Every structure is written in structure tokens, then in C-alpha cells.
A and B are shown apart, each in its own frame.
Chain A
Amino acid sequence: GAVVSQHPSWVICKSGTSVKIECRSLDFQATTMFWYRQFPKQSLMLMATSNEGSKATYEQGVEKDKFLINHASLTLSTLTVTSAHPEDSSFYICSANPQGGNEQFFGPGTRLTVL
């Protein structure tokens, strides 16, 4: 149980295009999902917290207009990187909290490369 999927697992795009990453909790409902960014050999950096049916809460320094988050249902959150640039290239990981639970379960991550 407690499986979180992400799609796509990797994506290469041209500078200026937008990329959407999906995060799904497969066997549980998640009122809260989190989006992280991770650079090589560095720890997780929380970007934003998304709650089903409401606006996401962004961490300081994260541009909300650039990283659009939608949490449309209790099992799906999406992150859209708008007008991507090479500096946005990174490993993006989502996680989800089961309803009433305190553990976070992580997706496998999405590697984004912007050319």
C-alpha cells in the first residue's frame, strides 16, 4: 500500500515551453501533497504544499507564476513548469500524506532537462 506515482519519469524540452508533471496517490486519498526539487547530491527542497480544492502554499523564493500547482482531486496533483529555462532542469519529486496520517509517501521523481 501507500504507492505514489509520477508521470512522466523523465522529460526533455526546449527552452520556453511548458511542462506538466502529474502526481497520483494510487491506493489512498491524500488531502495534502508536496512538491520538492532536488539538485544532484543535495537534499530535498520543498517548493510548495498543495491541498485538495484550494490554492497551493509556496515556499519563500519559489515563483508561483512559474511553478503552477493544481490539486484537483484527493488523488491527483499537477505541477506545471511554465516557460521553462535551463536553470529549471532538476529532479522534481512529489509526496502525499494519507488522510489522517503523518507519514509522507514519495513518488519516484521526474527528471526535467531543459535545452
Chain B
Amino acid sequence: QKEVEQDPGPLSVPEGAIVSLNCTYSNSAFQYFMWYRQYSRKGPELLMYTYSSGNKEDGRFTAQVDKSSKYISLFIRDSQPSDSATYLCAMKRTGGFKTIFGAGTRLFVKA
């Protein structure tokens, strides 16, 4: 079993839809949770960074962490064609050296 599981998709939605992206993990020691967006042939860009459980909102993006269920989510409201990209979840434990990445979910937002 992988430490971080993420459905690779692809996920296709119409413009304006609410998108829900999710990851599950197995290591309860993870405390830092991140979401990255990667456009084709570009490096990943940090979108959201959260510590421990709870919600964090930034514009159209909301990140949720449920440590009891070992489940994290990224919601995108009013999705736009420019949101079409691969979204990677990532997590790290306190004092850990490495960040563990999910496989990435490919999202297509159709105009």
C-alpha cells in the first residue's frame, strides 16, 4: 500500500463547477499537508499549505484536512478552463526530511 493514494483521473468538469480533489494516506505522523498545481511541462506550484487538521481558504480554493480519517481534500469553486492542470497532494511529518507526493489528479475544465 502506498503511503499516499490519489486518483489519477482524469476528471472532467464544466466551467463553473465545484471541483473536489482528494487524497488518503496511511501514516498518522503526517502533520503538514500541501496541494500543488502543475501545468504541462512546468514545475509544480504550491497552492495550499496547512498544518494538522482543519480548513484553509484562499480565494476560490479551500483545503480540508481530516486527520482522524487520514483524508485531505482540495475544493475549487467556480472552476475555470485555466484551472485545467494536474493537482498533486503532498504531506510531511514533523521533523521529516522528505515530502511524500500523491500521483496527481489530471483535471480538465471545459468551457
Taking Cβ atoms with an 8 Å cutoff, the residues of A that contact B are 2, 4, 6, 32, 34, 41, 43-44, 46, 49, 91, 93, 95, 102-109, 111
Contacts and interface: CB of A to CB of B under 8 A. Distances in A.
Given A43-B102, A43-B103, A104-B99, A111 B90 contact: no
> How many B residues touch the partner, as a band?
20 to 34
Contacts of A102: 32, 49, 92
A65 B101 CA distance: 26
A94 to B, nearest CB: 8
Given A102-B32, A106-B36, A44 B44 contact: yes
Contacts of A41: 106
Given A43-B101, A43-B103, A102-B32, A111 B41 contact: yes
B63 interface: no
A46 B98 contact: yes
Given A43-B102, A44-B101, A102-B92, 17 more contacts: A2-B46, A32-B97, A44-B88, A46-B98, A49-B97, A49-B98, A91-B41, A93-B43, A95-B44, A102-B32, A103-B34, A103-B46, A104-B46, A104-B99, A106-B44, A107-B43, A111-B41
B60 interface: no
B104 to A, nearest CB: 5
Contacts of A109: 41-43
Contacts of A107: 43
A38 to B, nearest CB: 9
B14 to A, nearest CB: 23
